[in-house]
Structure 1
């Protein structure tokens, strides 16, 4: 397990978008479950399958809460989810992935364009969402396919 990451941030201490924060790059402010948060993209890159084709993972269906999805995936044995949590991070949800794409489009972060990136949001028992950071297209693909993950952190703003 890595050293514990920063857990919260004061609004007055937030840097400009695209600047370093909590071991990564500050992407944007957003609201999740009634709480304002800061989204941080890590430099780490993980590779692997989302999960097992044909198996629905309870609790991995949120379009906005990537941390909840990632915890559900880890409990089901997903290696990439476990690795993300070991970084004190999580696999982005559909919403968080789109926010990262917006930061890329604004020139604030650099992402691989040669591979699809897994998101933590499950589409069905057979498929999960992935994102093409070349053009921002959201797809669903077979869970057993190998994809890249760029973990994120979501810090509550005080």
Structure 2
């Protein structure tokens, strides 16, 4: 981690209220660093990302949740349109989490004490700062933050959440928040979404 990234990481702590929601970590893209913030649970949505059999060419980023969401919204996704229209406080730049941003949600705010699903590359995240490596059964563990633990007022459900990163014309990346299993599955399935936004650090 370079000095700038280290300094940026110290500005906020995981789960701290910030920017219309809660800080969940830092990602890097094209040499730039971004703070990522997730919306409060009250703004969690459930629906179908849609566009099944459609190649949404602007929805392939692993880090830019908003641009992916705008691409899906333009292609007719009602769920993406709902998220893109969210205004929380003064912030109107929310998106369905991109794959590597969604991974930060689980890594840092895992709701359950269940062992992680750790086959192949579950948890691999080259976009995070510091870079994330594949899960072990025990790591990451359940978040120590009570509000985000299973049953807490801000906790993720122990169920599947969809990302905005397209896997193919038929599939998107999904994640099981009970155990961290990452998978490409049908864009026609109903799933949960905890919206996110990001801010440029440098």
> Shorter-chain TM-score category?
0.7 to 0.9
Q: Which residue of 2 is the match for residue 118 of structure 1? A: 162
Structure 2 alignment gaps of length 5 or more: 1-7, 87-91, 111-142, 149-154
**Distance apart, 1:93 and its partner CA:** 0.8
Equivalent-residue separation in structure 2 for 1:70 and 1:22 (angstroms): 19
Structure 1 alignment gaps of length 5 or more: 1-10
Equivalent-residue separation in structure 1 for 2:200 and 2:98 (angstroms): 16
TM-score by length of 2: 0.67
Q: Which has the larger radius of gyration?
A: 2
C-alpha distance 55-27 of structure 1, shift in aligned 2 (>3 A) = same
Q: How does 1:1-158 map to 2 (within 5 A)?
A: 11=8, 14-43=11-40, 44-87=43-86, 88=92, 89-105=94-110, 106-108=143-145, 109=148, 110-113=155-158, 115-157=159-201
The total of aligned residue pairs comes to 148
Greater relative contact order (CA < 8 Å, ≥ 6 in sequence): 1
TM-score by length of 1: 0.85
Deviating 4+ runs (over 3 angstroms): 11-14, 105-109
SS of 1:57's equivalent? coil
Q: Which residue of 1 is the match for residue 135 of structure 2? A: none
Q: Which structure dedicates a bigger proportion of its chain to strand?
A: 1
